[in-house]
Amino acid sequence: MKNLISNIKDSLQPIDEINGFKVRPGFYLINGATAIRNGVNFTIHSFSATYCELLLFRKDESDPYAVLPFPDSYRIGNTFSMIVFDINIEELEYVYRMDGPYDKKKGLIFNKQHYLLDPYARAVTGQAEWGVKRKQKKNMYRARVVDDTFDWGDCPQPHLRFRDLIIYELHVRGFTYDISSGVKEKRRGTFAGVKEKIPYIKKLGVNAVELMPIFEFDEMEDVRVVDGVTLYNYWGYNTVGFFAPNTGYTSEREHNHEGRELKTLIKELHENGIEVILDVVFNHTAEGDERGPVFSFKGIDNNIYYLLTPDGHYYNFSGCGNSLNCNHPIVHQFILDCLRHWVIDYRVDGFRFDLAAIMGRNEDGSPMKNPPILEALAFDPILGKVKLIAEAWDAGGLYQVGSFPAWKRWAEWNGKYRDDLRCFLKGDGGMAKNAVMRITGSRDLYNPDHRGNNASVNFITCHDGFTLYDLYAYNEKHNEKNGWNNTDGDNCNNSWNCGIEGETDDPTVLALRKRLRKNAFATLMCSRGAAMFLAGDEFCNTQFGNNNAYCQDNITSWLDWTRLEQYKDMFDFCRFMISFRMAHNVIRRKTKQATCGYPDISVHNGSPWNENFSNDTRLIGIMYSGRTTDDTEDDMILILINTFWENLHMTLPNLPGGFTWNIAMDTWFDHEEGTDYNKLTERHDNNLVVKPRSVIILNSVRNDAAQRMGQ
């Protein structure tokens, strides 16, 4: 459509004049503001508005230099569209004002005094300098027209198989803002800073980055000072502009070219075989509830964009004041347009939907069996190859892990994997059976016949909660610095401090914590389903026990890269485990059956083929069997996990003739490249001693290979 405009724009001529500006009816199917050679096409729609006007501003000026009412003849249906000629986009900022009925009980709150941000704005002004209050009056967001041309060349997208994903969740600012990141000062905390770290990301071995919210948000929303420290809306789960990248994440001002630095980052990640997944928030907006500002949707069609109670108040299934009415046809179309924009213009590879259960609610707040928006995203041709990942719960109590409407397209953050594995790995009783089920693909939740084989994103840590280091250093959350008297954040972390709360010099406690961290990461890498972990876990980054660091724009949330050297053994271990996972297809998926006839997955709890569980079962064995990646021979992987505080003994299952078991890794010992665990681990023929709270991974090797390795 943009090319169509480009081809015919020279022939367009004004036919009217409004307040000294030459105008004509615009392109009604092109939402937002689109530059043409001799003007700008402005289009916006409202179901209930009776009047609309366009306001034009110059940068940093409080008052508009032009107010252009849309004539009745410039409205078709509920859509207002107008081309304004002879205006320079480099000098231009714009908003709308609308008028219409006012009846709060019906959710109609039109007020001609409100300046309204274009929902389809490609750039939001006044946001580029992080942590600085806008010069304009409160709640006055303006849009800018963007020249979004970008040469993607012939760089292909990776299109990785879902089961092969190793997802690295990161916050763009926190990833490189600390000086220890080594990123050039001007690029710290920006898209360009992440780009500088691509060699590191590639060296680690991950093949997908999941960026926490990068849609335009206002970090100054609810800014406050606690004990002398300024607290911001740092995470960014308070979207202001859904089509606009966060200009506070750029190292250079991109006036009228917003998005270029992000596109450059995505292009280079793709060139290195790394996919980009965006964490998107379609469950609520930054307008909040009745006490919140009116700057966009509320002033355009409040009773359409938000879920409202019968008396006109806001349903708050998000915990953030309001909930988007995702299954209304207008909101449905808006979300679809938005995601298509990020796939077409930014070549994004996937989306993780925050509190996605809200997207399945009806207009009365009740869950829908087949939500239209979720079905539409599943079958949309533009989104046909992108990953769709749901956080399958919301703050209103709707929990859909394992039951999220999917059409074999939607995957889920597997919250039950996180919870069950945390409990089992710290030694809780009665969790062994659940742990085996989670590690082997959560088949009780994701029946392949109904969900396909791409449903589970396994994780033990994410941005919301403890880091991996803190998971084994704290029994309790320590969120006092957030200013809410430690009442915020989850109270149920399933964590264990190993006997001492927080930092310690006790060598026994430190050794145990190190082992537990490695146990968790090794288990994650040996689980069926996509794997995800939090950036910094690979070098023991800490948030000092804060499990809800949403407001901490400081070293609490920034990665401390000095720990990369301090905990180099953990980094090397993570690299090894990622490499091991990628080298063995049988871990990630069902392959051709092994010629020896062993099943794809089998359980060996202490002895071969023992599938019995009791409340005291704390040694589990899981064997994957199949064929190697090149289909040249059988491949067997055996994972042994001992969560008991004493030695436990494992009799290894027999391998077919010509093969023997090789110990690839044992977390009881420090990991260094080239470590021969076969010489370190206590083994008597086919009997293995699994040390307390440790994980051993074995793989099948041919006898001649075993002899060369010195077994």
Cα atoms in the 13 Å half-sphere on the side-chain side of 557 = 28
Give the SS3 label for residue 222. coil
∠ CA 30-32-33, rounded to 5°:
95
The residue to which tokens 């963007």 are assigned: 146
The first and second tokens of residue 546, run together, are 């804060």
The first and second tokens of residue 96, run together, are 């709308």
Q: Could you give the CA distance from residue 245 to residue 262 in angstroms, rounded to a whole number?
A: 8
Phi, psi at 287, each rounded to 5°? -80, -15
Active site residue 391: yes
Active site residue 16: no
Of 588, 538, 544, the closest CA to residue 564 belongs to 538
The first and second tokens of residue 25, run together, are 């009816």
The torsion angle over the Cα atoms of residues 568, 569, 571 and 575, rounded to 10 degrees, is 140
Of 326, 320, 139, 154, the closest CA to residue 236 belongs to 320
Q: Could you give the CA distance from residue 457 to residue 413 in angstroms, rounded to a whole number?
A: 5
Pairing assessment for the beta strands 79-85 and 166-170 based on DSSP bridges: unpaired
Give the SS3 label for residue 665. strand
CB 667 within 8 A of CB 519: yes
CB 254 within 8 A of CB 260: yes
| Residue 66, number of CB atoms within 10 A of its CB | 18
Q: Could you give the CA distance from residue 341 to residue 335 in angstroms, rounded to a whole number?
A: 10
DSSP 8-state symbol, 205: T
Catalytic hit among 218, 258, 354, 464? 354
Give the SS3 label for residue 389. strand
- Residue 156, judged by CB atoms within 10 A of its CB (0-12, 13-18, 19+), counts as exposed
Catalytic hit among 261, 391, 412, 419? 391
Q: Could you give the CA distance from residue 47 to residue 101 in angstroms, rounded to a whole number?
A: 11
DSSP assignment of 145-190: --------TT-------GGG-EEEEE-HHHHH-SGGG---GGGTTS
Name 173's Cβ contacts closer than 8 Å, sequence gap at least 6.
130, 189, 190, 234, 248, 249, 553, 558
| Residue 294, number of CB atoms within 10 A of its CB | 19
Beta strands in 233-349 (DSSP E): 239-245, 275-280
Q: Could you give the CA distance from residue 12 to residue 394 in angstroms, rounded to a whole number?
A: 49
CB 131 within 8 A of CB 220: yes
Q: Which of the residues are catalytic?
A: 354, 391
